[in-house]
Amino acid sequence: MPGAESPSAGLLRLINGYQASQAIHVAAVLGIADELAGGPRAVGELASVTATDEAALHRLLRALVAVDVLDEADDGTFGLTTLGEALRGPAGAWAAFIGRPPHWASWGQLLHSVRTGESGFRAVHGVDVWEYRADRPEEAAAFDAAMTGLSRRVNAAVAAAHDFGRYGVVVDVGGGRGALLAGILAHHPSVRGVLFDQAAVVAGAEPEAEGIEIVAGSFFESVPEGGDAYLLKSVLHDWEDEPAIRILRVCRRAARAGTALLVVERQYSIPATKLSDLNMLVGPGGRERTAEEYAALLAAAGYELLGETPTATGVSVFEARAR
């Protein structure tokens, strides 16, 4: 087929993917997409507002044209493509995070992680991601911004995919700053929510809906009692099996027989989840799992998996019941 990419060229494109990742990261940090929101601009203008070297910025912009993030007009101005427009949304916060030195360095330890099964992040920094961010507020803020950005579309899909209206009290365990819980209560005003996370995390919570109680603590020790449903979104994939089961057992101790547990995680059948699985390996040291693997975790903690509800965002809601 004329013009088809050769296997060698295709492989080299994948090998050099880090170059595109860093170029997009720098564009996100500089706010290039926001600067171009009003239309194409000249390099000199962009260099002035982003406090960058004009010649070096020009090279960056041309590289972004090569990966279809930007367009270059005949007059030399640069504008956003459809991909570039997306950089103004949740993807932009993730792009700004992934190129930060602590995260970037952990991927450089993938070989170590594959050989040992250990977190690449810990190999580089000597502590896990949670300890590292606890001592560095700027890194915690960057991570929180990335997670909040990525979660917006997912939160809306989860709130719509499951009938949360049948519960009186929903306890969001490890719920961050409350965005998902606020979305659930917006769909179901009769529900009362309890947001539970570490003190440093919930200190920055500003729930957008009334009826949310904020409780600080560790899900390795205890979670609030009295919930009709316990919600764990993007929590279990941060941990290997033993600590994941410990979290689930803590939730089980707080629950009554028949109480619902809702686990929101990525659908393993999606190709991107396989790469996310490596991100869990080199980062927090966790893993993505199949439905069967989640069922095994749940059974070990005293739950029965009732079913999986996929959403269009690539995550599923796994519904379980306390035995």
Active site residues per annotation:
237
Are 95 and 87 in contact by the 8 Å Cβ rule? The answer is yes
Helices marked H in the chain? 7-15, 17-30, 32-35, 43-50, 54-66, 82-86, 90-98, 101-107, 110-116, 120-125, 129-134, 137-161, 179-187, 199-202, 241-254, 271-282, 291-300
Residues 6+ apart with CB under 8 A from 147: 176, 234
Closest CA to 147 of 163, 133, 165: 133
- Enter the tokens of residue 121: 């992040």
DSSP 236: G
Pairing of strands 260-266, 315-322: antiparallel
Are 264 and 158 in contact by the 8 Å Cβ rule? The answer is yes
Are 80 and 33 in contact by the 8 Å Cβ rule? The answer is yes
Q: Which residues pair with 262 in a beta bridge?
A: 231, 319
CA gap 177, 47 in Å, rounded? 35
Dihedral pair phi/psi, residue 157, rounded to 5°: -65, -40
Dihedral pair phi/psi, residue 25, rounded to 5°: -60, -50
CA gap 202, 136 in Å, rounded? 17
